[in-house]
Amino acid sequence: MTGIEARPPTGTGNGNGGEPGTYPNRFRASGVKARHLRAHVLVVAWLAAALLAVAAQGTLPVAQWLAVHMFLLGAVTTAILIWSEHFAVALLHAKVPDARWSAARLGTANLAVAGLIVGMWTASPALTAVFATLLAAAAVAHLVMLIRLGRGALGGRLKPIVAYYRVATAALIAGVVLGGLLAAGGAGGPDRYAGLRLAHIHVTLLGWIGLPVLGTLFMLWPTVLGVRMKDRTTKVSRWVLWLTGGGLLVAVVALALGWRWPAAAGLALYVEGAALTVNLLARTVRGNRAVSAAAAWTLAAATCWLLIVVVTDLAWLVVRPLAAAQTGIDRLLPVLLIGFVAQILIGALTYLLPVVLSSGPRDRAAERAVLERGWPTRLVALNAGVALAALPLPGPAVTAGMLLAVLAGAAFLVPAVAVLVRSGLARSRNAGTDSASQRPAVWGTAAGAVLIVLAVLVANSGGDTDNPAVASATGGGATTATRTVDVTLAAMRIHPARIEIAAGTVLRLRITNDDAQRHDLKVQDGPATPMLAKGDTRVLDIGPVTGNREAWCTLPGHKAAGMTMDIVVKGHDTAKDSGGHEGHASAADNAGPDLSADFSTGWHARDADLAPAPGGTVHKVELRAAHTTVEVAPGTRQQMWTFGGTAPGPTLRGKVGDVFEITLVNDDTGMGHGIDFHAGALAPDKPMRTLDPGERLVYRFRAEKAGAWLYHCSTTPMLQHIGNGMYGAVVIDPPGLAKVDHEYLLVSSALYLGTPGSTAQVTKMRRNTPDAWAFNGIANQYAQQPLKVKAGERARFWVVAAGPSDGVAFHIVGTVFDTVYKEGAHLLKPGQPGGAQVLDLAPAQGGFVETTFPEAGHYAFVDHDMRRAEAGAHGMVEVSE
Amino acid sequence: MDTVGWWSFVRFAHVAGAALWVGGQLALSLVVLPLARRLLAPEAKDSFTAAAGRRFGMLTGAVFLPVQLATGWAMAWHKGVTWASLAEPGYGRTLATKLALFAVVMLAAACHGIAHARGRADLARALATVSLVGSLGVVLLATALPTT
């Protein structure tokens, strides 16, 4: 047994004792060992980076891509490059290739991967293309090396396995090309994208990673078990390569072209090949004690996952069309990545690291003991986690499973690092002190520099710091400026909805989909992104923009639902402020304000609480008419005409018989205003006359009747005066009004954006096409800052419809009104058997409804005219226990 | 508000502390220790190196670290930095990265002390270099932050 351990992995497999003695010494040479050590430091570093990226999943949009590629392209690719070369030399009994060229290939590949990752992270297509080419070049060099090794080499019994490495390297090249196509977004429509993406995934995972693993297992498996290889291994390995390689070729070409059935057929061949391998491996098992039980179990579990994943993958392809199968296959990826790839890496390194790094049998046993520490726990945790993640269980179980699997996999890093450090220290102790004295400084500087580069990358991530609702991008002077704008797709909106740039600006859009569903973005007469899943980011180079353009999501119905964006060249007609184009309001205006955005910081919703009537029977109030600029919708500021500085104006409340004495002062410049209180009866002639700027008037009325009354500006055109905000409510309590826990007042109105009084705005008022609707003057305000009530409490909602042209159908989702009071009369009282669902008010009518909130939850209140509800006339009552 | 007010003093303490710490490391590793290696006898060199390291470490723990943390915290409070804002791209993320890098630098410095005490000279030197280069990175990130 010890004799087996002392030899490199192929020693047993060859069976003819004299031959192996010719090459182990070459691998023991310290140069080769040093290279292995350095290369495995790289592998471990990539693994750690991938884990960091996994941890950053929530905060970085590209984190998932980064994690997958740091792991597969960084760690796994480096490992395959090292080991395929190592095994090829051993299996072919060839001469060890020039160390400098090997290092150059490995270095180039790693540099290319690092560059690719930076390119994708910074969303720079040029950088990505350059480094993808470099990676392909490194792969070609590796392929050339593998082919040249075969020439004139003696060749052992297991020579066919080297063919696996060659085919796999070709698969890597194909995978890089496909990946480059995907990254460039030049793939065509969404269906095409799905096919190319599936082809990329299959050729890399099943080709570049799957084939070398299957091939290597033919000789590694018996070695790890410590048994003789089956005689038919050579023959079986040839068949399996034909089945898997040929099947994969068919599958990948078919997938890239979007042909589903040939793809399934190719994959079936691959499954057949994998099954043949597993069959042979299973028959190899004998009852003896394995050389490394940890490695054997881990390799076996990993191979099982490969088989499971490939069979499931085939099933998805058979039952679903490509685009739909994608979702199912995506769910397999974590299983394949951790269950198969990570586990095979762990299993192989557990056996191989001691073989290549140790200096003697005792050293090897010690290293193996370190690597195998706690292996049964890690094995069980990893596979249980993967199984949890693979089964169709609810979200938390899947997350917990993934976490368990990742942690169990990451736990291998600890012994791996320990062995590498041990081996490294042993080497540096042996090395001369002169050369060693300068090394720590070099290592330290390199590590520090890597830290700084990482830190700068993190600090610069997340794009431009300024991202207002309207992204303004002005080029300076005559030179053409380049401008990158971050665009977010969320809640069926494109944010920002409008980009203003100077003519000739070279525009780049960095588009991120934050929505749960897939979207893309197509620029009029310009490029389009592929379909973006949640969290995906793509960069579109629009080039110099000289005229107004539109951009939209191409999915059916999404454009109509409001997923449009205007790219407006400054100086061109912008319709918003121009009065000359009646009825030609820009698309941005038609889409209305972006209600999914956030209000600016420091913004507060208007208090909806209605205070009880103040004491006394005479209420004196001063109202000043003026212009005020208000945030009427998230991020949208609008000049309003106001009473008392707000729209709606201050609420007046009293009892039947109270006298109201209002002093109206017209503070406006250049515009007359008046006032009309519906709550009082008097001759309109004098009190409701129009006041010139600077004039004042005392309006005195007695509230003889109870009700929820409107007051508004009495100056014509009233459509504009009310439409621009000059309205408010007067609440006169009916006698015997019961006490309730909460009383709210909601004044409903329509919002018309644009310069008040401009032709464009007035046209919208005349046609009754408001930009939004609102309760208490600000669209969506109570959706962002909900009203707060406790379960079981009774609330009264006073509602007044200010118009100017629309009424309101007030409804609270999840409640039934037991009291309805409308226009001075109770339509429904608590004792009655009936209930009410809506308080319907024509423009200028008012009333109240009462309800008790049965349990904790979120009760939306809406104008049940859904066009208005979806465009701002809705809010939320948050009911807590 | 005065041009030179209390907050300038706080910022001065922060910047001066950083300058002294980074400068001290640079002076030690580029001037003092190489000279000590060349001019002193091996035993004298070892004890001198250890003593210099200990003195600098004590200075770091007793003066530099508390001052940096206190003034840094105060300035963040003054600027209205919140935990949530640290994740936002731009100022917040740069500051968060700077803090993380600073933590790594401090960790490297602490490990340097431990490695030195255990006689792992090479590891200690590598860690000292990481700490020095990393603190230059902290300064770089600090210059990228707009003034408070």
Among A residues 400-439, those touching chain B with beta carbons less than 8 Å apart:
428, 436, 439
Quick one: closest CA in B to A440, which residue? B126
Q: Chain B: nearest CA to A627, how far in angstroms? A: 32
Question: DSSP state, A487?
Answer: E
pLDDT the model gives residue A17:
35
Sequence-separated (6 or more) residues with CB below 8 Å from residue A474: A481, A500, A501, A502, A505, A570
Q: Which of A440, A455, A462 comes nearest B141 by C-beta?
A: A455
Please state which of the ranges A291-300, A667-676, A695-704, A773-782 shows the lowest mean pLDDT.
A667-676
Q: Please give the Cα distance from A675 to A673 (Å, whole number).
A: 7
A778: nearest Cα among A645, A631, A566, A881: A631
Residues A632, A557, single domain; the answer is no
CATH at residue A200:
1.20.210.10
Q: What is the pLDDT of residue A187?
A: 53
Query: Between B100 and A548, whose confidence is greater?
Result: B100
Please answer whether residues A713 and A625 qualify as being in contact, where contact means their C-beta atoms are separated by less than 8 angstroms: yes
User: Which of A522-536, A653-667, B24-38: highest mean pLDDT?
Assistant: A653-667
**Residue B71's pLDDT band (boundaries 50, 70, 90)?**
very high
Same domain (yes/no): A637, A548: no
Question: Same domain, yes or no, for A260 and A157?
Answer: yes
| Euclidean distance between CA atoms A172 and A109, whole angstroms | 12
A113 within domain boundaries? yes
- The answer on A509 and A411 residing in a single domain is no
Would you call A546 an interface residue with chain B, using a CB distance cutoff of 8 Å?
A: no
**Residues of chain B found within 8 Å of residue A458, distances taken between Cβ atoms:** 93, 97, 100
Facing residue for A441 by CB, picked from B94, B129, B134: B129
- Judge if A332 and A258 occupy the same domain: yes
Chain B residues touching A59 at Cβ < 8 A:
87
Q: Which of B90, B97, B134 sits opposite A458 (nearest CB)?
A: B97
Looking at every residue in chain A, the average pLDDT score rounds to 82
Residues of A in contact with B93 (CB under 8 A): 458-459, 461-462
Same domain? A357 vs A414 = yes
Q: What pLDDT score does A816 carry? A: 93
Query: Which residues in A lie closer than 8 A to residue B129 (C-beta atoms)?
Result: 440-441, 443-445, 447-448
Largest CA distance in chain B: 58
Q: How far is A425 from chain B (nearest CA, A)?
A: 10
Instruction: Report yes or no: A459 at the B interface, CB cutoff 8 Å.
Output: yes
A202/A255 Cα distance (integer angstroms): 9
* Tokens standing for residue B133: 């280069």
The verdict on residue A599 lying in a domain is no
> Measured between alpha carbons, how far is A428 from A38 in angstroms, rounded to an integer?
13
Query: Which positions in chain A touch B88 (Cβ < 8 Å)?
Result: 462
The 8-class DSSP code of residue A838 comes to -
Q: What is the mean pLDDT of residues B14-32?
A: 90
Query: Which residue from B minimizes the CA distance to A459?
Result: B94
- Contact assignment for B128 to A463 by CB distance below 8 Å: no
Selecting from B94, B124, B129 the residue whose C-beta is nearest the C-beta of A448 gives B129
**How far is Cα of residue A178 from the mean position of the Cα atoms in its chain?**
23
Q: Which residue in the set B90, B93, B122 is minimally distant from A428, CB to CB?
A: B122
Contact assignment for A440 to B90 by CB distance below 8 Å: no
Confidence of residue A428 (pLDDT cuts 50, 70, 90): low
CB contact under 8 A, B126 and A447: yes
Q: Is residue A8 part of a domain?
A: no
Query: Is A444 close to B132, i.e. CB distance below 8 A?
Result: yes
Q: A408 vs A1, A339, A374, CA distance in Å?
A: 30, 11, 10
Best-predicted range by mean pLDDT (A52-56, A169-173, B115-119): A169-173
| For the ranges A491-495, A846-850, A867-871, the one whose mean pLDDT is highest | A846-850
Checking if the pLDDT of A2 tops 70, the result is: no
CA distance B101 to chain A (A): 7
Crossing angle of helices A293-319 and A260-284, in 10° steps, is 160
Question: Do A451 and B98 count as a contact with CB atoms less than 8 A apart?
Answer: no
Q: How far is CA A290 from the centre of its chain?
A: 46
Q: Which of A727, A731, A708 is nearest to A660 (CA)?
A: A731
Q: Which residues contact A306 (CB under 8 A, 6 or more apart)?
A: A210, A213, A274, A336, A340, A344
For residue A726, the 8-state DSSP code is -
| Percentage with pLDDT > 90 across chain A | 36
* pLDDT band (50, 70, 90) for residue A190: low
- pTM of the model as a whole: 0.50
Nearest to A626 by CA among A671, A663, A661, A662: A671
The minimum CA-CA distance between B142 and chain A, rounded to whole Å, is 11
Between A616 and A35, residue with greater pLDDT? A616
Where residue A700 sits, what CATH number does that domain have? 2.60.40.420
- Nearest Cα residue to A544 out of A501, A601, A496, A606: A501
Domain boundary, last residue among A403, A429, A455: A429
pLDDT of residue A34: 72
Name residues 48-67 of chain A within 8 A of B (Cβ): 59
Inter-chain contact B97–A462, Cβ cutoff 8 Å?
no
The reply to whether B26 touches chain A by the CB within 8 Å rule is no
Q: Is there a domain that residue A609 lies in? A: no
Q: How far is CA A760 from the centre of its chain?
A: 38
In a domain, A5, yes or no: no
Neighboring chain A residues of B127 at a CB cutoff of 8 Å: 444
The verdict on residue A597 lying in a domain is no
Measured from the Cβ of residue A825, the count of other Cβ atoms closer than 10 Å reads 11
Same domain, A499 and A368: no
pLDDT band at residue A57, thresholds of 50, 70 and 90?
low
Q: Confirm if A422 and A416 have CB atoms less than 8 A apart.
A: no
- Is B93's Cβ below 8 Å from some Cβ in A? yes
Residue A767 lies in a domain: yes
CB A459 within 8 A of CB B141: yes
Kindly state whether residues A333 and A191 are assigned to the same domain.
Answer: yes
Average the pLDDT over each of A186-200, A287-301, A525-539 and give the range with the smallest value. Answer: A186-200
Percentage of residues of chain A with pLDDT beyond 70: 87
Whole-number Å distance between alpha carbons of A65 and A8: 36
Q: Report how far residue A529's alpha carbon sits from residue A565's, in angstroms, rounded to the nearest whole number.
A: 14
State ipTM: 0.84
Domain contains A23: no
On the question of pLDDT at A564 being above 80, the answer is yes
Q: Are both A728 and A875 inside the same structural domain? A: yes
**How far apart are alpha carbons B148 and B77 in whole angstroms?**
10
Please determine, for residue A864, whether its predicted confidence score (pLDDT) is greater than 70.
Answer: yes
Asked if the model's pLDDT at residue A70 lies above 70, the reply is yes
Instruction: Say whether A465 and B134 touch across the interface (CB within 8 A).
Output: no
- Give residue-wise pLDDT tens across range B72-96: 999 888 877 888 778 777 788 888 9
Q: Decide if pLDDT at A131 tops 50.
A: yes
The overall average pLDDT reported for chain B is: 86
pLDDT digits (tens, 9 = 90+) for A201-254: 999 999 999 999 999 999 899 989 988 888 888 889 999 999 999 999 999 999
Is B109 in the A-facing interface, judged by CB distances under 8 Å? no
Closest Cβ opposite residue A452 in set B88, B126, B140: B140
Residue A433 has pLDDT above 70, yes or no: no
Contact B133 A444 (CB under 8 A): yes
C-beta atoms surrounding B19 within 10 Å: 11
> CA-nearest residue of chain A to B98?
A455
Whether B89 sits inside 8 A of A456 (CB atoms) is no
Instruction: Report the chain B residue with the minimal C-alpha distance to residue A433.
Output: B122
* CB pairs < 8 Å spanning A and B: 81
Q: Which domain holds residue A769?
A: 618-880
Q: How far is A441 from chain B (nearest CA, A)?
A: 5
Q: If you average pLDDT over residues B122-144, what whole number do you get?
A: 88
Please state, in angstroms and rounded to a whole number, the distance separating the CA atoms of residues A66 and A158. 37
* pLDDT the model gives residue A251: 94
Residues A693 and A779 in one domain: yes
Tell me which residue of A417, A340, A411, A336 sits closest to A378, measured CA to CA: A411
Other beta carbons less than 10 A from residue A348's beta carbon = 22
Which whole number is the average pLDDT over B132-143? Answer: 90
**Site from B25, B122, B138 to mutate, A interface, most A CB atoms within 10 angstroms:** B122
The number of domains in chain A is 3
For chain A, say whether B137 makes contact (Cβ under 8 Å): yes
- Search chain A and give the residue with CA nearest B125: A440
Mutate to test the interface with A, among B49, B93, B105, B135 (most CBs of A within 10 A): B93
pLDDT surpassing 70 at residue A644: yes
In the predicted structure, residue A475 carries a pLDDT above the cut 80:
no
Co-location of A301 and A413 in the same domain: yes
Give the nearest partner residue to B130 out of A448, A462, A464, using CB atoms: A448
User: Which of the residue ranges A206-210, A284-288, A409-413, B141-145 would you say has the lowest mean pLDDT?
Assistant: A284-288
Q: Cβ distance A470 to A500 under 8 Å? A: yes
Give the number of other CB atoms < 10 A from CB of residue B94: 23
Least confident range from A25-29, A759-763, A832-836: namely: A25-29
Q: Which of A458, A464, A598 to mutate to test the interface with B (most CBs of B within 10 A)?
A: A458
Query: Is residue B99 very low, low, confident or very high in pLDDT (cuts 50, 70, 90)?
Result: very high
- Phi first, then psi, for residue A408 (nearest 5°) are -65, -40
Run of H or E including A826: strand A825-828
Q: H-helix or E-strand containing A507? A: strand A506-513
Residue A493 has pLDDT above 60, yes or no: yes
A572 vs A447: which has the higher pLDDT: A447
CB distance A751 to A633 below 8 Å = yes
Per DSSP (E only), the strands in A590-720 are: 618-633, 636-643, 652-655, 659-666, 676-677, 696-702, 707-712
- Written in H, E and C, the secondary structure of B12-46 is HHHHHHHHHHHHHHHHHHHHHHHHHHHHCCHHHHH
Higher-confidence residue of A747 and A559: namely A747
Q: Could you tell me the strand order of the sheet in which A707-712 lies?
A: A652-655, A727-733, A707-712, A676-677
* Residues from chain A contacting residue B34 (CB–CB below 8 Å): none
Query: Roughly how many angstroms between the first and final C-alpha of chain B, as a whole number?
Result: 14
- The three state secondary structure string of A77-142 is HHHHHHHHHHHHHHHHCCCCCCHHHHHHHHHHHHHHHHHHHHHHHCCCHHHHHHHHHHHHHHHHHH
The 10s digit of each residue's pLDDT in A572-616 is: 544 444 333 333 333 344 457 777 778 887 788 889 999 998 888
Question: Strand, helix or coil at B91?
Answer: helix
Provide the token pair at A759. 């032709």
* In the predicted structure, residue A77 carries a pLDDT above the cut 70: yes
Is 90 exceeded by the pLDDT of residue A711?
yes
A456 contacts on B by Cβ (under 8 Å): 137, 140-141
Nearest to A451 among B89, B93, B134 (CB): B134
- Chain A residues whose CB is inside 8 A of the B144 CB are 459
Alpha-carbon A31 to chain mean position = 46
Q: Does B144 touch chain A (CB under 8 A)?
A: yes
Q: Is the peptide bond before A650 cis (omega within 30 degrees of 0)?
A: no
Is there a contact between A166 and A91 (Cβ–Cβ < 8 Å)? no
Residues of A in contact with B132 (CB under 8 A): 444, 448
* Interface touch B87/A59, C-beta < 8 Å: yes
